[in-house]
């Protein structure tokens, strides 16, 4: 088992799950067919192009950028880095999830279908992000306060305080 782990870099369960994911992706492509991945009429709307483009943009541009940002945060904040990492991840994922509403894509269709506008999406997203950062500040600040109350001050010598002069 150790030889396998040394050569592969992880355990056999990781290999089995990765192979299963690749097989599922291959099955999805075979089910919908290769022609469905490319739009001959409007080439930039092709699923295959967007998939490859997203991988390239993420791996070549975005990952190095947020890796540098994370290193700067770790250097600046030390052990409090997760107080920023976690709400920032929540902000990014919720932006990705609600981007069409926030950026008002398909606003006529949305209004025709629901009778509502997409106007409140951006403000609600900003309030959600503010709440995530506030909750993080309260959680990590409260944790630090408890730690400070439990830890005696440096140089606190109880024997010397009660010793006669």
Containing 165, the helix (H) or strand (E) segment is none
> How far apart, in whole angstroms, are the C-alpha atoms of residue 159 and residue 13?
57
pLDDT in the model for residue 108: 92
Residue 14 has pLDDT above 70, yes or no: yes
What is the mean predicted confidence (pLDDT) over 106-135?
94
pLDDT digits (tens, 9 = 90+) for 34-90: 888 887 887 777 888 888 888 899 899 999 998 999 999 999 988 889 999 999 999
Choose between 158 and 136: higher pLDDT.
136
pLDDT digits (tens, 9 = 90+) for 127-154: 999 999 999 999 988 888 788 788 776 6
pLDDT in the model for residue 155: 64
| Residue 78 region by backbone torsions, left for phi larger than 0, else alpha for psi between -120 and 50, else beta | left
Angle between helices 82-102 and 120-150 (to 10 degrees): 170
- From the list 127, 109, 130, 131, the residue with the least C-alpha distance to 118 is 109
Residue 156 has pLDDT above 80, yes or no: no
pLDDT in the model for residue 1: 81
pLDDT in the model for residue 116: 92
> How far apart, in whole angstroms, are the C-alpha atoms of residue 1 and residue 36?
42
> How far apart, in whole angstroms, are the C-alpha atoms of residue 83 and residue 47?
36
- What is the Cβ-side half-sphere exposure of residue 34, based on CA atoms within 13 angstroms? 0
pLDDT in the model for residue 157: 58
Where are the alpha helices (H) located in 33-153, listed in sequence order? 47-56, 63-77, 82-102, 107-114, 120-150
> How far apart, in whole angstroms, are the C-alpha atoms of residue 130 and residue 136?
10
Residue 113 has pLDDT above 60, yes or no: yes
Chain-centre distance for alpha carbon 20:
24
């Amino acid at each position: 088992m150790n030889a396998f782990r040394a050569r592969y870099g992880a355990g056999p369960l990781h290999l089995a799950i990765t192979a299963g994911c690749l097989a599922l992706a291959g099955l999805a492509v075979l089910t919908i067919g290769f022609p469905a991945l490319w739009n001959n009429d409007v080439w930039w709307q092709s699923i295959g192009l967007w998939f490859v483009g997203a991988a390239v943009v993420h791996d070549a541009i975005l990952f190095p950028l947020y890796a540098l940002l994370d290193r700067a945060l770790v250097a600046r904040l030390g052990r409090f880095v997760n107080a920023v990492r976690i709400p920032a991840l929540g902000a990014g994922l919720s932006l990705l999830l609600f981007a069409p509403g926030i950026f008002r894509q398909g606003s006529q269709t949305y209004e025709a279908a629901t009778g509502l506008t997409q106007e409140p999406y951006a403000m609600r997203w900003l309030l959600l992000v503010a709440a995530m950062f506030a909750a993080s500040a309260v959680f990590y600040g409260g944790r630090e306060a408890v730690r400070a109350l439990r830890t005696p001050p440096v140089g606190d010598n109880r024997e010397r305080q009660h010793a006669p002069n």
